[in-house]
Amino acid sequence: MLPSRASVVVVGGGPAGFMAAIAAAEAAGGRFPGGVLLLESTPEPLHKVLISGGGRCNVTHACWDPRLLVDHYPRGGKALRGPFSRFATGDTVAWFQAHGLELVEEPDGRLFPRSNRSSSVVETLRRAAIATGVVLHTAQAGQTAQALPGGGFRLRLRSGAELEAEHLVLATGSHPSGLRIAASLGHGLVAPVPSLFTLTLADHPLVDLAGVAMDPVQLELLLTPLPGIAATATKPQRQRGPVLITHWGLSGPATLRLTAFAARALRERRYRAGLRVDWTGGRKPAELEGWFADARLEQARRQLGNWRPWPDLSRRLWLHLLALVGVDASLRWADLPRRSEQALITALRDSRYQISGRGPFGEEFVTAGGIPLSEVNLATMESRVQPGLFLVGELLDVDGVTGGFNFQHCWSSGWLAGQALAAQRTCS
């Protein structure tokens, strides 16, 4: 049975909502007489946690210094230094450890549960909620909220039920219902746009190479100025890292990072832009010329198709580039004309493609946009517009690149809100 009153009502049973509810209940040590209520609109909470990281849940990233951590947030950035200086990656690892879940670091810095199952993260959060007395109600969607004259809120649910809360936490992710509730309480909105998506290439010139992965590759967006539109500043528009060639274009961490940082600029251009690809990962021409000189000398009798200038260069890509610049792969290294060498070095360092859209499967994992950070006290996650209202997680205009950074923001913002809620309770 849904009670008619609660000290704290958290709307949204995702990672940010669970963390806020658990942290509040733990920090208050049971001193919320009306209890902490967690409302989730679907039958099962923590759905995104369950499907995240390919069913393994990339909980956070081994970036321990808050000053460096903020560089992974295209929206949020430096403003997150304060929150992360109070609860960052190390705190997340310790928090989960204290609640019975060990996180293990992979060579690329991503941290996963030792079980390699996202269900362990879900179980840990659910167990911690029960242990701290947080009461979860599923299939209960918050619809509207009204601030009461004497403080507190009246929340109306989609079912028609109503309840009063001394403190209200909105943790509804990118769902429009949470943004609507926040707007009705006086909040603005930075228009949501997709972030973290793959790229479709026009007439896909690399389609025969689908499945080829290269690391590192340097990608640079070539954005044309738009007449009459002040293009959103997007820094940096160059990314370096692993790239995967797909059946429709490009994917992989460097592509996702590029699209995250340029999410708005690409949207303004309807996902049409030029792309410069440096398959060497940013190596200087002199270094490549050195490798070519070595190959001419040491592999003189070998055919070009059978010896690549450096071993990590994909053979399929090398053969593609040879054909592109019109060099016969059966030519011996000793016979490679100088001008063909220059053409190959240019193709390796400066291949140009046209982006014609986002990837076809809606791969975006997060939404850029939401409640502006200027409207939130980032030390407590309390609204500057409506006292007693707390805003956490993806609902805010914060998003990170792939690698566990989005969950990290949920853990940090949820934990901070929890501490502030408990502190307000203790003081009153």
State the residues that interact with ligand FAD by CB under 6 A: 11-17, 39-42, 45, 47-48, 51-53, 57-58, 141-142, 171-173, 175, 177-178, 365-366, 393-395, 404-407, 410
CB-based contacts of 230: which residues, under 8 Å, 6+ apart? none
Residue 258: both structure tokens together: 């590029």
Interatomic CA distance for residues 79 and 65, integer angstroms: 15
CA end-to-end span of the chain: 28
Q: How far apart are CA 196 and CA 303, in angstroms?
A: 41
Residue 389 phi, psi (nearest 5): -100, 135
By beta-carbon proximity to ligand FAD, the closer residue of 53 and 76 is 53
Q: How far is the CB of 181 from ligand FAD (least distance, A)?
A: 7
Task: Give the CB-side neighbour count of residue 109, counting CA atoms within 13 A.
Answer: 13
- If the CB atoms of residues 292 and 407 are measured against ligand FAD, the closer one turns out to be 407
Closest distance of CB 104 from ligand FAD, Å: 14
Question: At closest approach, how far in Å is the CB of 135 from ligand FAD?
Answer: 14
Nearer to ligand FAD, 76 or 152 (CB): 76
DSSP string over 147-212? E-TTSSEEEEETTS-EEEEEEEEE--TT-HHHHHHHHHTT---EEEEEES--EEETT-TTGGGTT-
Question: Shortest gap between Cβ of 176 and ligand FAD (angstroms)?
Answer: 8
Considering beta carbons, is residue 196 or 345 the nearer one to ligand FAD? Answer: 196
- Our CB check for ligand FAD shows the closer of 174 and 351 to be 174
Closest approach of ligand FAD to the CB of residue 404, in Å? 5
Q: How far apart are CA 181 and CA 187, in angstroms?
A: 9
Q: Output 56 or 269, the one with its CB closest to ligand FAD.
A: 56
Please, which residue, 206 or 371, has the CB nearer to ligand FAD?
371
Q: How many CB atoms lie within 10 A of CB 46?
A: 23
* Residue with smaller CB distance to ligand FAD, 143 or 346: 143
Each as own residue / partner, the long-range contacts of residues 141-145 (CB below 8 Å, 24 or more positions apart, any chain) are 141/39, 141/41, 141/177, 142/11, 142/12, 142/39, 142/41, 142/172, 142/177, 142/178, 142/181, 143/177, 143/181, 144/180, 144/181, 144/184, 145/181, 145/184, 145/185
In this structure, the number of other CB atoms found within 10 A of the CB of residue 193 comes to: 15
Q: Which residues of 54-82 are buried (b: 16+ CB within 10 A; e: fewer)?
A: eebbbbbbbbeebeebbebbbbbeebbee
Q: Report the chain's C-alpha Rg in angstroms.
A: 26
Helix axes 338-349, 315-324, angle to 10 degrees: 120
Residue nearest to ligand FAD (CB): 14
Measured from the CB of residue 177, what is the shortest distance to ligand FAD in angstroms?
4
Indicate the residue among 277 and 395 with the shorter CB distance to ligand FAD.
395
**At its nearest, how many Å lie between ligand FAD and the CB of residue 306?**
40
CA dihedral 173, 177, 182, 185 (to 10 degrees): -160
Tell me how far apart the alpha carbons of residues 413 and 382 are, in angstroms, rounded to a whole number. Answer: 10
- Shortest Cβ 367–ligand FAD spacing (Å): 9
CB of 93 to ligand FAD, least distance (A): 14
* Rounded least distance, CB 52 to ligand FAD, Å: 3
Nearer to ligand FAD, 278 or 397 (CB): 397
